[in-house]
Structure 1
């Protein structure tokens, strides 16, 4: 079985020489294997295509994919028209359980949810007339999904959804946070959610005035407050600190006792703690996706990190994601890049104190702490965006800064934006070190203001790292990136720090990312929203123990070295707190 995909947003026949048609061997023999259709985009006949792949290599805009599928994937659950994305399989909502979906962006998670929510009727690959619900139910007869899909077909399912990109919410609602939440309070639990998520202080503020973290918590509370038969939450962790993520996870677990919940999450530590089972999505993003049968959460995550699915006998990644037990190793000797002095910054309602410290050449320095504690303010002080009390800094180092919230407010293409930042765009070094790891080739001709949140994040990272600087500061680079992209970004950042002999500072709440990327960490403590203190930098073991002790959260490591959150008040949680080992702990130690 072979499928041909045309990424319509990248196909620009007027800007190219229609190389796909010109070089196609079947077209040269007289067949209409590839044509320019009525939509002014390329169309490929899957029946005539021999899968040579020449058109894929010749297309200047990376708009084509020709994929040979395993034989067992002959009938898709849904396909988006001729040369469109194909989805195989569906996740299974289970009453009383939290079901996780783990996979790359563009692998079919949102399509799955549309089908499960009843907003999209699966066509089973029939592009002419579509499939009737009777045909769909016949396909799923005898499976765990049959009863659920039968209720969907009879419109008996009410769904509550938390969208992935919360920045769209202010575009459709202009009132206050309290007004929005009151309209969704169908279960009478709003006061409980407001208290648990600490929303009291922002209830009277307009939705468009909220920060990303505040808007995320409002969206979660609104979703959980509705009466529904099925709850779906798409990425709960962006812009939330670890404490807020833990609180949100507990609220979701409480609701799961009553109703089935499906969650898409790229923070593996939270997904590990929150989900009962996971479905792994694999395939080729925006080309085809396969949703596996449910797996135990530990097994599913470990197989995903390993890149090999044992039951399916499928390897979908060439390398495994490995976690180094760096806390027990000797720290690399590095020269000091610069020393930042003690600083203070005072606002009407918040103050920040920095004791001073050093950043070393070639190192990645992690920065951790609760939201509202001053991490972004510290980054702005180093970048010169803000001035400390007493006047400007004189650090004598060039700083490149990616802010926490990135905006796509230009209609220039991604390529033009990056060319305006660096003269090295056409060099093989830049293409290999920046463009390829961030998977930017497919979107180079896309206007920046049309990008999704994850695409915009990758462009912002590229823009920051494209500048000539001594210190690069990345504020929450993991937001809206899937696991695969986070791994690639982590490897790229570590490689660039070494290669450029520069310092890179990463502010993030993803424990996995901080663990993989950091040599040392800076810990922010204090009272969120009132006062913050920057302590360190510390080595990883000391710093993470200090940070997690303040939060009252313990992590263990399984045999693969993967950090896992201990359930509160479990035996391991109590034992590690007694031993003051909040992070680096394994059964073998």
Structure 2
């Protein structure tokens, strides 16, 4: 069995531990160079050839910076390795003309590395990180494979690729001016009017890019990629910050590229959006930060269901202990549940915008989701309930303690995550914190990281965890799934439900991921109106009624997958789409 050793350089702190990995290594005690010290970085270097795999260094390291990983025997030579004791990628996806291929897997498993390789930004080193690999070597490696011609075209400069990056919030740092100027400058396919209309950008064409919201930046980035003329298009998480309708609009625009014969690769964590956009799927498995393996190509339905099941039958690999289970919650008869909080009809007005909220109640042990278009007042409602904003009319009648996680995460704290937890999490260090919060959100791996160095997903996990650690009656989360992968979203859902039920509390969640909403909701609130002008929210109601009300306005229907019971988007004007609309069942047909 092949073995690799991974060192997390951010967490490794030899000055504090005095090289405990070297001190306790049996190989070093036998005077072998199993672990040595890099003269430049002063970090340990672990020899994978001499390592016996005993695991003593991983257990002794006080900062959990070392991983000794036994790889499956079936793995062949890697496609790329970043360096000694660093991440290793095995395999690349298949590229098909006129098709959208999706990549599905956890963060840190190599998806962005794949896009960088295929877009020509990163030259694959075939595992040889010490020597320069020639294009002839790479082309020869893929001889007889579809990728042979692909890399030959890249090496000769005959292939043009467009890459829509993940972190669209960084766009204002690199692009100045107005939206109209940017999109006009990249419109190589003469489709400016149709693309901007489909992505609902007409109203912001005269706006400065620096003044756009996250969702607006995402749509502008998608438009800028689609308008360019290329052979291959790569989209890294194109639906982040978008509401349900905007996600389906983005799906339509990207699908039209495939209809024109273009090749498209998409990384997406919203399973409903991935299902709607992709023709095929590659599942990535392995150990985040250690190694990633690209599975064989599957049809989109089979691929997503295989991912939910956690078992790759053809490869004989189980990458998750248990399958993800979705439950259909039919409307239940009204019961006299214990009321935790209640509010009268609320109104709040700003310059040019007005929000009205119907009176409602929040019950113990329930999770209420709130969904609707962006700019419709969901965050305003959350702030009124949290006491951050005061309503113009109406009031929160039963005062409760609220723990609030805002939509946009900003941290100016300069210390480590562990230091931050000491000051913000009241029960940090207790067994309850370790079980209910530390473990599901994988915070242990972040403890030694600086707060200002956290990625978007890491900061999101930390923010949700800190909110849950507070002593509160209601836990209020504004878009807690942004930047999280599928596994992290579902772990967060289970943690939120477990904490609210164990504390006899409740949670209110504002989000756009239909699969996440379906997985976690007890009841739901629907926000409707004209974005940026007027919004209105219903009282909490059963999930199916809420979804039917919302989706009927959007004009989208969902069905249940027969195998996994997960929500799936029906293709517009398909037989099921027409049938469900005729029956008024936009979410799923009655069993």
TM over 0.5: yes
Give the drift of 1:204. 2.2
The question of whether the paired residues in 1 share the 8 Å contact of 2:357 and 2:539 is answered with no
1:407 to 410, 413, 419: 410
Alpha-carbon distance in 2 for matches of 1:89, 1:272: 23
Match status 1:473 vs 2:457: no
Runs of 4+ displaced beyond 4 Å: 328-333, 390-395
The question of whether the paired residues in 2 share the 8 Å contact of 1:545 and 1:582 is answered with yes
Q: Deviations over 1:198-228 (max 9, x none)?
A: 2122222222211111111111111111111
2:508 to 505, 508, 514: 505
Alpha-carbon distance in 1 for matches of 2:583, 2:468: 41
Per the alignment, residue 258 of structure 2 pairs with 256
2:234 to 229, 232, 235: 232
Match status 1:566 vs 2:570: yes
The structure-2 alpha-carbon separation of the partners of 1:22 and 1:467, relative to structure 1 and needing over 3 Å to count, comes to same
Alpha-carbon distance in 2 for matches of 1:173, 1:404: 24
Per the alignment, residue 582 of structure 2 pairs with 578
Q: Which region of structure 1 is more displaced relative to structure 2, 22-31 or 479-488? A: 22-31
The structure-2 alpha-carbon separation of the partners of 1:352 and 1:80, relative to structure 1 and needing over 3 Å to count, comes to same
Alpha-carbon distance in 1 for matches of 2:95, 2:507: 42
Alpha-carbon distance in 2 for matches of 1:271, 1:140: 28
The structure-2 alpha-carbon separation of the partners of 1:345 and 1:231, relative to structure 1 and needing over 3 Å to count, comes to same
2:269 to 261, 266, 271: 266
Give the drift of 1:334. 3.8
Give the drift of 1:330. 6.4
Per the alignment, residue 33 of structure 1 pairs with 34
The question of whether the paired residues in 2 share the 8 Å contact of 1:95 and 1:257 is answered with no
Question: Map of 1:86-105 to 2, 5 A cutoff?
Answer: 86-105=88-107
What's the TM-score once normalised by structure 1's chain length? 0.97
Per the alignment, residue 84 of structure 2 pairs with 82
Per the alignment, residue 397 of structure 1 pairs with 400
Alpha-carbon distance in 1 for matches of 2:452, 2:209: 21
Alpha-carbon distance in 2 for matches of 1:130, 1:108: 21
The question of whether the paired residues in 2 share the 8 Å contact of 1:240 and 1:371 is answered with yes
Match status 1:386 vs 2:384: no
Question: Map of 1:86-235 to 2, 5 A cutoff?
Answer: 86-235=88-237
The question of whether the paired residues in 2 share the 8 Å contact of 1:118 and 1:157 is answered with no
The question of whether the paired residues in 2 share the 8 Å contact of 1:78 and 1:88 is answered with yes
Per the alignment, residue 325 of structure 1 pairs with 328
RMSD over aligned Cα atoms: 1.5
Per the alignment, residue 458 of structure 1 pairs with 461
Give the drift of 1:32. 2.1
Alpha-carbon distance in 2 for matches of 1:448, 1:460: 11
The question of whether the paired residues in 2 share the 8 Å contact of 1:555 and 1:583 is answered with yes
Question: Map of 1:367-446 to 2, 5 A cutoff?
Answer: 367-390=370-393, 393=396, 395-446=398-449
The structure-2 alpha-carbon separation of the partners of 1:23 and 1:333, relative to structure 1 and needing over 3 Å to count, comes to farther
The structure-2 alpha-carbon separation of the partners of 1:391 and 1:360, relative to structure 1 and needing over 3 Å to count, comes to closer
Alpha-carbon distance in 2 for matches of 1:333, 1:326: 18
The structure-2 alpha-carbon separation of the partners of 1:264 and 1:403, relative to structure 1 and needing over 3 Å to count, comes to same
Alpha-carbon distance in 1 for matches of 2:166, 2:19: 36
The question of whether the paired residues in 1 share the 8 Å contact of 2:343 and 2:394 is answered with no
Give the drift of 1:353. 0.4
Q: Which region of structure 1 is more displaced relative to structure 2, 231-240 or 179-188? A: 179-188
Give the drift of 1:356. 1.1
Q: Deviations over 1:157-208 (max 9, x none)?
A: 2111111111111111232222222222221112222211121222222222
Give the drift of 1:410. 2.3
Alpha-carbon distance in 2 for matches of 1:390, 1:564: 40
Give the drift of 1:433. 1.0
The structure-2 alpha-carbon separation of the partners of 1:214 and 1:410, relative to structure 1 and needing over 3 Å to count, comes to same
Alpha-carbon distance in 2 for matches of 1:108, 1:334: 47
Alpha-carbon distance in 2 for matches of 1:473, 1:464: 8
Per the alignment, residue 486 of structure 1 pairs with 489
Give the drift of 1:34. 1.4
Per the alignment, residue 12 of structure 1 pairs with 13
Is the partner of 1:410 in helix, strand or coil? Answer: coil
Equivalent pairs counted in the alignment come to: 587
Alpha-carbon distance in 1 for matches of 2:271, 2:51: 40
The question of whether the paired residues in 1 share the 8 Å contact of 2:100 and 2:279 is answered with yes
Give the drift of 1:409. 2.5
1:44 to 43, 46, 58: 46
Give the drift of 1:376. 0.6
The structure-2 alpha-carbon separation of the partners of 1:96 and 1:333, relative to structure 1 and needing over 3 Å to count, comes to farther
Question: Map of 1:518-533 to 2, 5 A cutoff?
Answer: 518-533=521-536
Per the alignment, residue 75 of structure 2 pairs with 73
Alpha-carbon distance in 1 for matches of 2:472, 2:26: 48
Tell me, which stretches of 5 or more residues in structure 2 are unaligned? none
Alpha-carbon distance in 1 for matches of 2:466, 2:177: 34
Q: Deviations over 1:483-536 (max 9, x none)?
A: 111111111111111011111011110000000101000111112221111102
The question of whether the paired residues in 2 share the 8 Å contact of 1:364 and 1:505 is answered with yes
Q: Deviations over 1:397-449 (max 9, x none)?
A: 11111111111322121112221112311111101211111111111111111
Alpha-carbon distance in 1 for matches of 2:508, 2:336: 18
Is the partner of 2:32 in helix, strand or coil? Answer: coil
